Amino acid sequence: MNSAHNQPVVGPMSFDDGTINFPTGKLPLKTLKGIFDVLPFEFDFVDADNQFVWYSDNGHRQARREPSQVGHPVSNCHPAQAVDKVMAVLNALKQGKVDKLVMPYQKNGHTNYNVYYAVRDDDANYLGCLELTIDPTVFDLDAATSIAQIKNLFA
């Protein structure tokens, strides 16, 4: 937070040669951003204090997010009539009643999904909630077309 103005510090993306080292390998930050950019989903992260702290912005968003929302209570990101439901989901995840919750909804004539995951550290401490929004129509699941594309690669 910018203490002078009590506003979140959000600015242009920058990469210093930073690399994240995981037990299963390492990724440069630039590559990690590229992964989020290419995935046809939207991701939001709410920390353990119910602050909205991050979102993906890759052109696949269904719920509009703004940099000015980052660092503020997640309740500010939702319409008033949805806040009680949002908080109930977050509380259930935080309390360990569930580790994942799938909420289907209708949009544009088909079923979409919001999937909420409890994110925990290695000691099972709750770190926050990762929300994944999926529009299944982004997948080209035509097997014949996929097989033809693969055959063309090796022709």
pLDDT by position in tens, the chain (length 155): 444 444 444 555 444 568 888 788 888 988 988 898 888 889 999 999 999 999 888 776 777 777 778 888 998 887 888 889 999 999 999 999 999 999 888 888 888 888 999 999 989 999 999 999 888 887 766 666 767 777 777 76
Question: In sequence order, what are the residues at sequence separation of 6 or more whose Cβ sits closer than 8 angstroms to the Cβ of residue 94?
Answer: 48, 118, 126, 129
Domains in the chain: ranges and CATH? 41-153 (3.30.450.20)
Q: What is the largest CA-CA distance in the chain?
A: 62
Whole-angstrom distance, CA of residue 72 vs CA of residue 52:
6
pTM above 0.75, yes or no: yes
For residue 102, what pLDDT is reported? 93
Question: What is the DSSP track for 53-114?
Answer: EEE--SS--SS---GGGTTEEGGGGS-HHHHHHHHHHHHHHHTTS-SEEEEEEEETTEEEEE
For residue 15, what pLDDT is reported? 47
